[in-house]
Structure 1
Amino acid sequence: MSTSHLHLFIGWLAMLLGAASGALMGLFFHRDDWAGGYGALRRRMLRLGHISFFGIGLLNFFFALTLSLVTFPEAYVRVASVGFIIAVMTMPLNCFLTAWKKPFRHLFPIPVLAVISGIVPILIAWPSS
């Protein structure tokens, strides 16, 4: 499977997980006190985890689209690919873990650095002509 096809698949899988997690949480949203209430950290982290599936899934779509339009050195593509894969796995997971136990918030640099490691190689290797 090519890198662009892999990231299209990952993007669609992330969309499915975003929809499924949203549907699951939607079963409880009618309760004002669910997950500590609307403004509670627990509920905010659950919502962020759900939305991060969509957001990082979109990054994977954009990466696949970019690879189909622009040629980059393979080493840069590999680094960016790994970064986006780690990001799509760790951002929602970290959000959900933080909703469960607050100290997991200290792990947020992992998905953030993963996103950055996906974006920066593309910008560095962007063709100048």
Structure 2
Amino acid sequence: MQPHTLAIWNLIAAWAGLLAGMGAGAVVGIFFGSEDFAGGYGSWPRRLMRLGHISFFGLAVVNFMYYFTTVALPGPLSRYEGQLPGQLPGVLLIAGAILMPTVCYLSAWRAGVRHAFFLPVGCLITGVGLTLIHIIGVLS
């Protein structure tokens, strides 16, 4: 089966997320051996850096799942296939995968940026919710 239209970008985002997670881990991992790096293990900056690093991997898995869901479904994911409403879940999942580590790392740098977490969280909740609604619609 073929993936639905723009879902190929979710596959690309998933692989890019894995690569970015490995790169981020390699760069920051150089300094993790130091007890006082970024304020110490339990400090806000270091916790947010760990969260940003792991979010690359977790959200890569979410984008893989979206891609393979579109491949596995017997019909279009939405009656709006090929139009923005039909593509919105995939677009939101990619946006969340970009925004989450970005907000994590920026929050590690400036704690006030934490107020922007509603952006990636909103994208991801909406993307997953719309995907679930579309799946139920296709299968019912």
TM-score (norm 1): 0.94
How large is the Cα RMSD of the aligned pairs? 1.5
Q: CA deviation at 1:128?
A: 3.7
Percent of paired sites with the same residue: 37
The 1:90–1:19 alpha-carbon spacing in structure 2 relative to 1, beyond 3 Å, is: same
Structure 2, unpaired ranges of 5+: none
Q: Partner of 2:55 in structure 1?
A: 52
Q: Which residue in the other structure is 1:110 paired with?
A: 119
Equivalenced residue count is: 129
For residue 64 of structure 1, report the CA deviation from its aligned partner: 0.2
Partner residue of 1:63? Answer: 66
Partner AA of 2:67 in structure 1: A
- CA distance in structure 2 between the partners assigned to 1:4 and 1:81 by the alignment: 6
**Aligned equivalents of 1:117, 1:82: Cα separation in 2:** 10
> 1:15 aligns to what SS in structure 2?
helix
- What's the TM-score, normalizing by structure 2? 0.87
Alpha-carbon distance in 1 for matches of 2:11, 2:117: 25
User: Which stretches in structure 1 are left out of the alignment for 5+ residues?
Assistant: none
Partner in structure 2 of residue 119 of structure 1 = 128
Within a 5 Å distance, the mapping from 1:1-129 to structure 2 comes to 2-70=5-73, 71=75, 72-73=77-78, 74=81, 76-126=85-135, 127-129=138-140
Bigger drift between 3-12 and 75-84 goes to 75-84
The 4+ residue runs of structure 1 with deviation greater than 4 A are none
Greater shift in the superposed pair: 66-75 or 55-64: 66-75
- More deviation in 77-86 or 103-112? 77-86
Letter in 2 for 1:50: H
